[in-house]
Chains A and B, each alone.
Chain A
């Protein structure tokens, strides 16, 4: 691993996107920034700007109106990037699945790297998820990553 690859693991900047959830998961993401959980110790900063972002934290089911917005935000994020589906809604649609205005989980629209279930997710789970995503990135960089079933 060279310096850039190491730095990538040490400085994941996040942006959180709510695609139509109940806001429960968003509150939990913000809780991660508080002194109790302090995700800044992993170098994580909440940027709120896709152009500065490495990790997209997406919460909520994707509503039909939000599809193009989410795609747009994903395209604006420079690579290498990681997408994390935060909360049951984002993983599968959750309680909103099959509603007339809901497309489904985040993976119906953009590729997702890590799923964090829970309604609402615990801040601990979010931190675990981000660390897991970084491990995946590390393995991808080393070339030792294997998809399930490979």
Chain B
């Protein structure tokens, strides 16, 4: 890694929340257009953020805030590891740790809405985290490594005799990552732990002013991380094809999430857990078995 390389990575890290902010701006605008409304300006999340930063501080207790900062710190750590081409498993676990801190923060106050949100958040983690880690395992089986730089180098691994990108060889893992993205961005039908108009905003209910803004910042980082995760599934030796492919893939997933968000209603938390156990888990295990069999040379 030379200096320019590192500079680009740092730049990407700094720009990550901007991507997240823009995502939510486009999201709100497109959602409004799909509902035949005009919708807010594109930079609305940024205005919200600045307004929240300027509000008076109302603190419930200090532990609550410590957990909020820990949530953001672990998300930033995960993104940092990702951008330095680190280990996929470490990324998954530090994403998981950040979610645990969010839930702990929500448990540290007395609001029942916050507690319901935290319970749901933990259950949602139980449903999605194992799938995400298994998805990382399939990537490892396919490319022989958990480390991203190796994954990029070897993602033209032959599958059933075809030289192809990860997306084509691991459709199930890709599906799982999209599922995780929907769940973590709190989009319908899996916007369960923040469930607006049901438990107000669940985990975030007691954060206010600047501290709510901090959790929003964390959320923007989280979003960038998830889209970075999606982009693993396409890489090529030629730089511009690689970048164009990654961006196209991200954009396609973004549109897919928006359409799903606008055309479905919220499910209950046990439906999410059942969905992950009955559909997600078997699918990904089948995928793992297939990879193992094909690598033993039985099929291919």
- Chain A residues proximal to chain B, CB less than 8 Å: 3-8, 10-11, 13, 35, 38, 40-43, 47-49, 51-52, 54, 76, 78-80
Contacts and interface: CB of A to CB of B under 8 A. Distances in A.
A13 B36 CA distance: 21
Given A7-B51, A10-B44, A52-B212, A41 B37 contact: yes
Interface of B: 28, 32, 35-41, 44, 46-51, 53-58, 196-197, 200-201, 205-209, 212
Per DSSP, chain B at the interface is loop
B188 to A, nearest CB: 16
B36 A11 contact: no
B38 A41 contact: yes
Contact of B44 (A11, A51, A79): A11
Given A40-B37, A49-B201, A78-B57, A10 B47 contact: yes
Contact of A51 (B37, B38, B206): B206
A79 B56 contact: yes
B41 A10 contact: yes
Contacts of A11: 44, 47-48, 51
Given A38-B37, A43-B40, A49 B200 contact: yes
Contacts of A38: 32, 37-39
Contacts of A6: 47
B48 A51 contact: no
Given A8-B54, A51-B207, A51-B208, A40 B40 contact: yes
A122 to B, nearest CB: 19
Contacts of B53: 4
A7 B37 contact: no
Contact of A49 (B36, B55, B205): B205
A35 B36 contact: yes
A79 B37 contact: no
B150 to A, nearest CB: 44
A40 B32 contact: yes
B47 A7 contact: yes
B37 A52 contact: no
A35 to B, nearest CB: 5
Contact of A43 (B37, B47, B197, B207): B47
A91 B51 CA distance: 28
Nearest to A15: B200
Contacts of B49: 7
Nearest to B53: A4
A40 B200 contact: no
A4 B201 CA distance: 24
Given A41-B37, A49-B205, A8 B58 contact: no
